[in-house]
Amino acid sequence: MTHGTITDESGRDLGPGLGEVATHTTVLFSAQDPLVLDNGARLGPVQVAYETYGTLNAAGDNAVVLCHALTGDAHAAGHHGDPERRGWWDVLVGPGRAVDTDRSFVVCANLLGGCRGTTGPSDVDPATGEAYGLDFPAFTVADLVRVQRALVRRLGVRRVAAAIGGSLGGMQVLEWTLQAPGEVDRAVVLCASARLSAQNIALSTAAREGILRDPDFQGGRYPGTGRIPRAGLSAARMLGHVTYVSEEALERKFDRRRRPVAGTTSDPSAGGPPAPRDGHDWFAPVFEVEHYLHHQAVSFLERFDALSYLYLTRVMDAFAPFEAPDADERLAGVRDAGTRFLVESFTSDWRFGPAHSDHIAAGLSAAGIPVERRDTVSPWGHDSFLLPLGEHLDLVAGFLAR
């Protein structure tokens, strides 16, 4: 990647990306007119951070909404001053790219409960003057979508040409179509789930427990104390990140390559265990994959909050829209509205693998909703939807063009 120009895995030039962009904020709800959550709790004010790219047309119907995954934010494309550090979905968005900003008005917002400019549990509760902490109300994917819908209305959007999301973002896209049939013309659901498996819930539980059991978590009252649950959040990030990549990807990138431990005479190319100076060295990272995970953890601590991690992973656990009492009625509304779906998975994704996408596609198809279902070959695991994979990018571009 050089100054916004990127290529896909075949070497095809995807064209220049967006230039410098800015994150904006707006207040959508107030204490007098609060957001009413699924559980009846009321929340206001609600500030939302968002970015837009391209121009909204006079009819207000060329909007493409990007819904981010668990640890994403509003900065999807372009850069904030350094052309080498670009938004998380820059490969997808820009002039002439799959989401073409010469044609579309693109909106991406940080989620409710987030920690990148949108109201969340580490923000100050105006009623107490202290951070909400665990007093922040529980919320659902449906509540995330209510905030997204309020934002696009504020921006003058009358109809969403397409909503696109991966992982938790794909859950939001699916929920949006069910919550407001007719608002979204085309829905792109990538690497998502409409019913987390016991394994998925177990993995998220293990990650959350690391945070909850960290003494620096302080019962959720750590904001403002100068102490954060670094150990717990680091462990949660390491565990989570392993589930986002495939075994093949880790083998390709690291295999069992080693790095020598400082102060030892161990040979990183040797087949045996490292020779520690004392017991502490035995547990120091020596394999390259260990160093990689430690790097991921340190980077994560600089940009994400433990409370947001707890809340948003729990939101994902609860999402099961096809099991709701009114599911048939909601699906009929989507069918009658004429929304079309692209449901894509990747062959090496073991977190929300092809079976999860099959479940979504089957639920939609059974209700008579048109679905294009694709399973794209990739060795890179769950995070494949973020990478410059030509087949995937062409699939999304073609679906939006049709």
Residues taking part in catalysis: 167, 349, 382
| Type of residue found at 218 | Q
Q: Give the residues across from 167 on adjacent strands.
A: none
Structure tokens at 17: 């990306």
Scanning the structure block, which residue is given the tokens 């495939």?
Answer: 246
What is d(CA 89, CA 263) in angstroms, rounded to the nearest whole number?
41
Q: Give the residues across from 52 on adjacent strands.
A: 107
Q: Which letter, b or e, does each residue of 371-397 get, where b requires 16 or more Cβ atoms within 10 Å of its Cβ?
A: bebbebebebbbbbbbebbeebbebbb
Structure tokens at 18: 């967006």
- Phi then psi for 209, rounded to 5 degrees? -60, -35
Query: Cβ of 292: how many Cβ atoms within 10 Å?
Result: 17
Structure tokens at 383: 């995070």
Q: Among positive and negative, which fits the CA dihedral 128, 134, 137, 143? A: positive
CA angle 322, 378, 103 (to 5 degrees): 70
Report long-range pairs for 198-206 (Cβ below 8 Å, ≥24 apart): 200/316, 200/317, 200/351, 200/352, 201/317, 203/239, 203/240, 203/243, 203/351, 204/313, 204/314, 204/316, 204/317, 206/239
Q: Establish how many alpha carbons lie within 13 A of residue 306's alpha carbon, considering only the half-sphere containing its beta carbon.
A: 30
Is 237 within 8 Å of 210 (Cβ atoms)?
Answer: no
Query: Cβ of 75: how many Cβ atoms within 10 Å?
Result: 25
What is d(CA 367, CA 292) in angstroms, rounded to the nearest whole number?
45
Residue 283 is classified by DSSP as G
State which H helix or E strand residue 103 sits in.
Answer: none
